[in-house]
């Protein structure tokens, strides 16, 4: 996704922090970055820096700590200075970049190892062949995306009001009792997402449930189902980031709407059908059988 337009986003903390996120994921540290880095040992030191010093401090944390630490500090600073955005825009922005990073790792490592193995047969023998990371990526992508979307809805929607109004909850119920399936329905009724997006989320949810509750050797659904659910998860996160960016900045961002294509693939190629009464997809597989 393109960097936010600086003419639209006037808050320097928001603008610099979001641009730093892109650098963290897409731009390797240089020797100059290391030489000009500003040493910080705690968030208290980081939070009092001038906005012009954040980039150099981020370089130090990347070099001496790790990606997690610098992202955590940026998230806290973003939360303290947020003006044009919801505070939860930042973790959504991060999640899209994490997803892309994992996808690149799953695709790039095997292809690069293949080149290396051709040149170094001894290395190839030591590895015992080229690792295929596709299944692991798709499974993890589903687990992570559903966990994120569930939490994102709980933070963005009027959950406490919904619980209080629902006869299905006891008086001591909390957001911990709200399932992802239920939060999808609330997101539709609150106008946060449309019905078609909700159906795609229910497909991702259904496949994620089997991916989470069955060991990978007994995955039940075919790999084609897992791959498509992972593709849907990527589209859903990207689409949500586009929608939230437009909502917060007023920008119009070009984004390919693949909802029809993705849903048609579920119905016409995977032969699943959607049950409107229970808001879930019914698979064309006997998922209780082992797939040997």
Q: Could you tell me whether strands 273-275 and 280-282 are parallel, antiparallel, or unpaired per DSSP bridges?
A: antiparallel
Domain count, the chain: 2
pLDDT the model gives residue 123: 79
Establish if 264 belongs to a structural domain.
yes
Total residue length of the chain: 292
Domain endpoint, select from 84, 107, 130: 84
When pLDDT is averaged across residues 249-258 and rounded to a whole number, the result is 89
Domain limits for position 117: 86-282
pLDDT the model gives residue 158: 94
Mean pLDDT of the chain: 87
Establish if 288 belongs to a structural domain.
no
Residue keyed to tokens 């990073």: 101
Band (pLDDT 50/70/90 cuts) for residue 117 is confident
- Tens-digit pLDDT profile for residues 121-167: 887 788 777 777 777 888 889 999 999 999 999 999 999 999 999 88
- Token pair for 74: 């940026």
pLDDT-wise least confident of 79-93, 111-125, 156-170, 188-202: 111-125
The CA-based dihedral angle spanning residues 104, 98, 6, 192, taken in that order and rounded to the nearest 10 degrees: 120
Establish if 37 belongs to a structural domain.
yes
| Cα three-residue angle 136-96-205, rounded to 5 degrees | 55
- Tens-digit pLDDT profile for residues 7-29: 445 688 888 999 999 999 989 99
- Tens-digit pLDDT profile for residues 89-109: 999 999 999 999 888 888 877
* 52 DSSP assignment: G
Residues 166 and 213 in one domain: yes
**Residue pair 202/279 in contact by the 8 Å Cβ criterion:** yes
- Token pair for 214: 């069955």
């Amino acid at each position: 996704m393109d960097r936010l337009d600086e003419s639209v986003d006037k808050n320097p903390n928001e603008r610099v922090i979001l641009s730093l996120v892109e650098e963290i994921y897409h731009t390797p540290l240089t020797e100059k970055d290391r030489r000009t880095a500003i040493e910080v040992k705690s968030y208290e030191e980081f939070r009092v820096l001038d906005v012009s010093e954040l980039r150099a401090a981020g370089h130090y944390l990347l070099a001496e700590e790790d990606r997690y630490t610098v992202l955590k500090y940026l998230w806290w600073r973003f939360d303290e200075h947020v003006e044009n955005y919801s505070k939860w825009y930042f973790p959504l922005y991060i999640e899209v970049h994490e997803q892309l990073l994992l996808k690149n790792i799953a695709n790039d490592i095997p292809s690069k190892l293949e080149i290396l193995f051709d040149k170094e047969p001894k290395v190839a023998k030591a590895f015992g062949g080229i690792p295929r990371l596709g299944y692991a990526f798709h499974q993890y992508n589903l687990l992570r995306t559903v966990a994120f979307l569930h939490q994102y809805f709980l933070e963005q929607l009027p959950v406490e009001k919904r619980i209080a109004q629902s006869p299905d909850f006891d008086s001591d119920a909390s957001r911990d009792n709200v399932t992802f399936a239920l939060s999808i329905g609330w997101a539709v009724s609150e106008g946060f997402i449309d019905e078609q997006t909700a159906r795609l989320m229910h497909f991702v949810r259904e496949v994620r449930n089997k991916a989470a509750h069955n060991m990978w050797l007994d995955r039940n659904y075919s790999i084609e189902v897992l791959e498509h659910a992972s593709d849907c998860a990527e589209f859903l996160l990207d689409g949500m980031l586009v929608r939230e960016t437009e909502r917060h900045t007023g920008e119009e961002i070009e984004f390919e709407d693949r909802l029809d294509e993705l849903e048609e693939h579920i119905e016409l190629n995977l032969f699943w059908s959607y049950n409107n009464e229970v808001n879930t997809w019914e698979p064309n597989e006997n998922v209780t059988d082992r797939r040997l």
